[in-house]
Chains A and B, each alone.
Chain A
């Protein structure tokens, strides 16, 4: 990149915006803060697009291969001579792609919020938090150093915490924010230890060097780290899996997904930004970032990624079919889609055609960002309209909010993978990759995509069709600022599939030509169509069929609608075990044993002094007697015993 300042500005602008609004927003920018935030972000969006253009078409490619470019690097915290957190900017295909995605979606959300959050008392604070999040997310994807990424990782977590808990007077919101932060923090613990392990053996924290040292077969570091093993697993596997756990936490992979549905307590645009398009894919991004190490040095770890992803995809899809809170449905669908990306990485190899999965995963990340945020924003405007998240309060809204309706439909088609919408293309690549490497995964993926189509249209119908509109139209569909993002995103939801990601974003930087025969596409598409038709039959018009079916399924259905009791399990572990079995005893021990010991010392001293007070009897003759006794004992001691 010709001028690093410009790239640096991309994250810095939101940061300054955050400081400005955070410190003075409440007083001075209570109304204008939205505009300020949006404008600053607009600039960084422009910049990131420019960067993308320059990278992909001018500077990025050196003799046909996209390079990792360290734009600049500054030693921020030096642990040891060769071991330091550097604040740097690393450009490579995925970074640049993410840059585009994040900045654009964030911009959309900013714009949308102008209308959605209008009249909030803490409007300025809201935008401050949004900017903080955007800053941290951009920082995360630009990181050139694994510890730097961890740093921004935490920041992203906390800004998501702040945004989820934005309605701080709602206990549920507070609880959700706490849950989100703590669960991800727990996952980050794995990440941190993973970093410690990798850094210790690779003697570096810098991504470039780290990857090089641990992925080149001949490198001495690799042999050492493979030699060192713990519980029969090589240090490398430990490191990678722990890091992956961190990623799984952020990306809400099973079993660390429990925070995501609750996170929907936050303002809907926030969900659109954080919990659909950007933060939740950080995990995918992380794995992709370290992909060479996974793929070349430790396929075992990659297997773990694959199975986790596949299972989560399916698991979430099943739950999504049963939820009645529209945002929760979307949340689970997000989880499921991310599962897609994960196992796509899992099935991928490193180089050439075999890197298809990697490419597909990135592609899906790209497209998913748009249509999922579109879905959320759509849901947002619906909620804005009916003031409720529950399906039962909705229905027949298609007349009342046409734009929302159309865009939402497009998004649904996109996620269901109906050509020619964006989702179709990315999904095809993933399925292809799965098909080529692992049939089991392929089957799971197929079923999942069918389910996806089903529950998305269940959602669609129950919002816009089924019964007639119950709510009367007191205020319109929403301000213009809410409509524009919907339209723009809708366009992208159609168009983004046509972007030739394959020639830009690949594991080894070499463009690959994806060849998905039409014949291959028949199965998934038809499955999706079946799902849609089923949904149409069941939910287009209100009838008692769904109820009956659910009763037919009985236990399974309830289990699914209760999210398979994962939350309860967690509750048990934390409340019963951590609090009652460790916390309480610790506190008790401290209060009674340790402190008691100290007090015991004091009391026993007092007791002794009480016991011996008799010596001071007050009788002068006794005194004389003791005097005499003293002499006698001295004489005995030092003349007869001592000598």
Chain B
């Protein structure tokens, strides 16, 4: 049976990465921005798994790394959301454009 070549997967992950970046740059809603970042991290996960599977199947470094990434992403999200909530208390909004007092 013919399997999907690595390049396809890499293409997918890269696309995902840039989509995430695009989301981060464009969406004003902080939560959405967090999700965009998650997207980017996932693309990284795909990379790792793919590399591991296709190139270095003898060791499981990549897999492990992706697992750790997932965990940490969760932690990051947790803290981020806590902060956003706190921000909401003071700003009454979760639009990044409203949180631009510190500049220049």
- Digit string of B23-34 for contact with A (CB within 8 Å is 1, else 0)? 011100000010
Q: Which residues of B contact A613 (CB under 8 A)?
A: 104
Inter-chain CA distance A620–B96, complex, in Å, is 7
Inter-chain CA distance A613–B104, complex, in Å, is 5
Q: Are A624 and B24 in contact (CB under 8 A)?
A: yes
- Digit string of A482-520 for contact with B (CB within 8 Å is 1, else 0)? 000000000000000000000000000000000000000
A552 in the interface, Cβ–Cβ < 8 Å?
no
Q: Which residues of A contact B33 (CB under 8 A)?
A: 621
Inter-chain CA distance A396–B97, complex, in Å, is 108
* Best-surrounded residue of A613, A617, A618 (most CB of chain B within 10 A): A618
Q: Which residues of A contact B25 (CB under 8 A)?
A: 621, 624-625, 628
A616 in the interface, Cβ–Cβ < 8 Å?
yes
- List B residues 1-21 near A (Cβ within 8 Å): 21
B101 in the interface, Cβ–Cβ < 8 Å?
yes
Q: Are A616 and B104 in contact (CB under 8 A)?
A: yes
- List B residues 74-104 near A (Cβ within 8 Å): 96-97, 99-104
A619 in the interface, Cβ–Cβ < 8 Å?
yes
Q: Are A621 and B24 in contact (CB under 8 A)?
A: yes
Interface of A is mostly: helix
- Digit string of A376-414 for contact with B (CB within 8 Å is 1, else 0)? 000000000000000000000000000000000000000
Cβ-closest chain A residue relative to B24: A624
Task: Say which size band chain B's interface belongs to.
Answer: 10 to 19
Q: Are A619 and B97 in contact (CB under 8 A)?
A: yes
Q: Which residues of B contact A618 (CB under 8 A)?
A: 100-104
- The total number of A-B Cβ pairs within 8 Å is 26
Cβ-closest chain B residue relative to A614: B104
Q: Which residues of B contact A628 (CB under 8 A)?
A: 21, 25
B37 → chain A closest CB, angstroms:
10
- List A residues 603-642 near B (Cβ within 8 Å): 613, 616-621, 624-625, 628
Cβ-closest chain A residue relative to B21: A628
Neighbour of A619 across the interface among B21, B24, B100, CB < 8 A: B100
Q: Which residues of B contact A624 (CB under 8 A)?
A: 21, 24-25
Q: Which residues of A contact B100 (CB under 8 A)?
A: 617-619
Cβ-closest chain A residue relative to B97: A619
- List A residues 280-300 near B (Cβ within 8 Å): none
Q: Are A616 and B103 in contact (CB under 8 A)?
A: yes
Q: Which residues of B contact A621 (CB under 8 A)?
A: 24-26, 33, 96
Cβ-closest chain B residue relative to A610: B104
A416 → chain B closest CB, angstroms:
94
A131 → chain B closest CB, angstroms:
75
Cβ-closest chain B residue relative to A620: B96
Inter-chain CA distance A625–B22, complex, in Å, is 9
A205 → chain B closest CB, angstroms:
71
B35 → chain A closest CB, angstroms:
14
Q: Which residues of A contact B103 (CB under 8 A)?
A: 616-618
- List A residues 19-70 near B (Cβ within 8 Å): none
List residues of B whose CB falls within 8 A of some A CB: 21, 24-26, 33, 96-97, 99-104
16 cross-chain CB contacts under 8 A: A613-B104, A616-B103, A617-B100, A618-B100, A618-B102, A619-B96, A619-B97, A621-B24, A621-B25, A621-B26, A621-B33, A621-B96, A624-B21, A624-B25, A625-B25, A628-B21
Give me 12 other A-B pairs in contact (C-beta within 8 A), A616-B104, A619-B96, A619-B97 excluded.
A617-B100, A618-B100, A618-B102, A618-B104, A620-B99, A621-B24, A621-B25, A621-B33, A621-B96, A624-B24, A624-B25, A628-B25
